Amino acid sequence: MAETESRPTNFIRQIIDKDLQSGLHNQVHTRFPPEPNGYLHIGHAKSICLNFGIAQDYQGQCNLRFDDTNPDKEDIDYVNAIKSDVTWLGFEWQGEARYSSNYFDQLHAFAVELIEKGLAYVDFSNQEQVREMRGTLTSPGTNSPFRDTSIEENLAQFAKMRNGEYKEGECLLRAKIDMSSPFMCMRDPALYRVKFAHHHQTGDKWCIYPMYDFTHCISDAIEGITHSLCTLEFQDNRRLYDWVLENITIDVVPRQYEFSRLNLEYTVLSKRKLIQLVDEKFVSGWDDPRMPTIAGLRRRGFTAASIREFCKRIGVTKMDNMVEMSMLEAPLRDELNENAPRAMAVLEPVKIVIENYPQESVELLEAPNHPNRPEMGSREVPFAREIYIEAEDFREEANKKFKRLVLGKEVRLRNAYVIKAQRVEKDGQGNVITIFCEYDADTLGKDPADGRKVKGVIHWVSAAHAVAAEIRLYDSLFTVANPAAQDDFIACINPESLTIKQGWVEPSLAKVNFDEANIQAFQFERTGYFCFDKDSTTSKLVFNRTVGLRDTWAKIGD
């Protein structure tokens, strides 16, 4: 269970407070109802934190219920991934996980009840005819020629649907409401369709499957849900939600409340678009660290606490807005700055030879694991005559603003000595391949004795002791802030969303055991926050850049 945090307030909590005070409810019961047709994304995390968080704060209950009414697109692997994501985020559902398919017998009985009341009919119009009869937003629909079929015949036809005597697409069970309603969802919506598909929970028991709008409200009522929370796109559908429950014989009548969905810059949260990215291999899978899925964020190095804090910060409103990516990264950066142990890694190495350092000598220097948390201890870092530094940390000539290594000038090596660049060796293309330096042996952990001021500090690794590592630098998957608004969102994919470096890391990192359920993060000093990737093996370390040391999104917007 997620730890108790200060309780936020929003319009939904105000409604719940009022309902409890008035005695309308004496306990809060919510639910999180994902469709098992893909992985959960950061938008679902907002709903998870809302539904489970409310149940937790009000000492109520929250169900995990899979909306599994479309077996063609569902998979047990998605079910398991969703369970894993909810648990990883720090929440527990009430009792066993539930499925809408648990209620298929009851749903079927309620459909029969609507037919018996003259409120549902079997329509043999084809898909194009049904679409045409619905009308438009500015013109009313027209009645189906099958709308006035007798109750007895509708019951017989629905029984034939149930028995598999009609083909897929041959007919629908539709509610009989109002084809002139200003709300399209009330123009005789479909309740059941024929579908010969194997279901991951019910097998081949059914060849008809209920529609989402019919299933969802009844499932809520069966489970005793008090507050059914969903996003704003279901606002109009609340009328159908209420209509169904008002016209069947059921004791509990829950209420639906809508809040704004999460829209996040530089990504897409449409499951259809995410499936396209996976199926067409624009990403390596659902857990690709560029994906906005919870699995992708976890693999990139995001923590459950940072995602919960992000959801808390953006709040719950009825106002649609686009959330900046910097808001997602900020709580993570705050957490990692406080908790991530430090290490040194060189992503683009250039060799330094310290000519006045003894040829065969190796020192084990002590380096703190965190500069501000001595309780996190320290580690030993080997230092020798040949080391690697970042290529960008050296210039042959530079102005005073460049605080790193310059030919003829000094710089401090992190947790080590002061060195001075004397000369360089270049390859045939004029690239520096080796920098020859001298070190001041009396500067380990202290300033030069003669009072020389050395302002710059750079990181390094011992060439003989460093461990080779593949380092994956992730950037935004898209080049525009709102790719979903583009005609072709695929054309907006960032070709530089992944850059792979073959670098070197200090040997202490080779001793860390990889745990996919609790991914270890590190601050690579002066570079950013990184974590082990699941592709890591004992012979090949792989690190993902989680987030930079500072927010760079503001610069993108300038």
Selecting among 35, 335, 386, 438, the annotated active-site residue is: 35
Which residue of the set 261, 312, 414, 501 is catalytic?
261
Q: Is 326 annotated as a binding residue?
A: no
CA–CA separation, 489 vs 224, rounded Å?
41
What is the spatial distance between Cα 436 and Cα 413, in angstroms, rounded to a whole number?
Answer: 15
Environment class of residue 250 by beta-carbon count within 10 Å: exposed (0-12), middle (13-18) or buried (19+)? middle
370 is in an annotated binding site: no
Q: Is 549 annotated as contributing to ligand binding?
A: no
Instruction: Name, in order, each residue with C-beta under 8 angstroms of 102's C-beta and a sequence gap of 6 or more.
Output: 201
Task: Give the count of beta carbons closer than 10 Å to the beta carbon of residue 212.
Answer: 16
Report the C-alpha gap between 276 and 162 in whole angstroms.
33
DSSP state of 207: S
84 is in an annotated binding site: no
**In terms of C-beta density within 10 A (0-12 exposed, 13-18 middle, 19 or more buried), how is residue 161 classed?**
buried
Element (H, E) at 69: none
Residue 459 assigned as binding residue = no
Cα–Cα distance, 396 to 432 (Å, whole number): 9
The reply, when asked if residue 210 is annotated as ligand binding, is no
Q: What SS3 class is residue 313?
A: helix
- Say if residue 43 carries a ligand binding annotation: yes
The residue type of 131 is: R
Active-site residue, from 65, 174, 271, 299: 271
For the question of residue 324 being annotated catalytic, the response is no
Q: Which residues contact 373 (CB under 8 A, 6 or more apart)?
A: 338
249 assigned to a ligand binding site: no
35 counts as catalytic = yes
Q: Does the annotation list 271 as a binding residue? A: yes
Euclidean distance between CA atoms 12 and 22, whole angstroms: 15
CA 97/CA 299 separation, integer angstroms = 25
The residue with tokens 């079997």 is 122
Phi, psi of 328 (to 5 degrees): -70, -40
Is residue 451 marked as binding? no
The residue among 106, 88, 556, 104 whose CA lies nearest residue 295 is 88
d(CA 397, CA 374): 38
29-32 and 61-66: which strand pairing?
Answer: parallel
Tell me if 36 is assigned to a ligand binding site: yes
Question: Is 231 assigned a ligand-binding role in the annotation?
Answer: yes
Kindly list the distances between the CA atom of residue 138 and the CA atoms of 182, 289, 555, in Å, as whole numbers in the listed order: 8, 44, 45
Evaluate whether 427 touches 382 at the Cβ level (below 8 Å).
no
H or E stretch at 43: helix 42-57
With the C-alpha atoms ordered 333, 335, 337, 342, is the resulting torsion angle positive or negative? negative
Q: Any known ligand binding at 373? A: no
18 annotated to a ligand binding site = no
Contact between 37 and 74 under an 8 Å Cβ cutoff? The reply is: yes
Residues, the chain, total?
558
Element (DSSP H or E) covering residue 87: helix 76-88
Q: Which residues are known binding-site members?
A: 35-37, 41-47, 67, 212, 231, 261-262, 269-271
Catalytic center residues: 35, 261, 271
Binding residues for ATP: 35-37, 41-47, 231, 261-262, 269-271
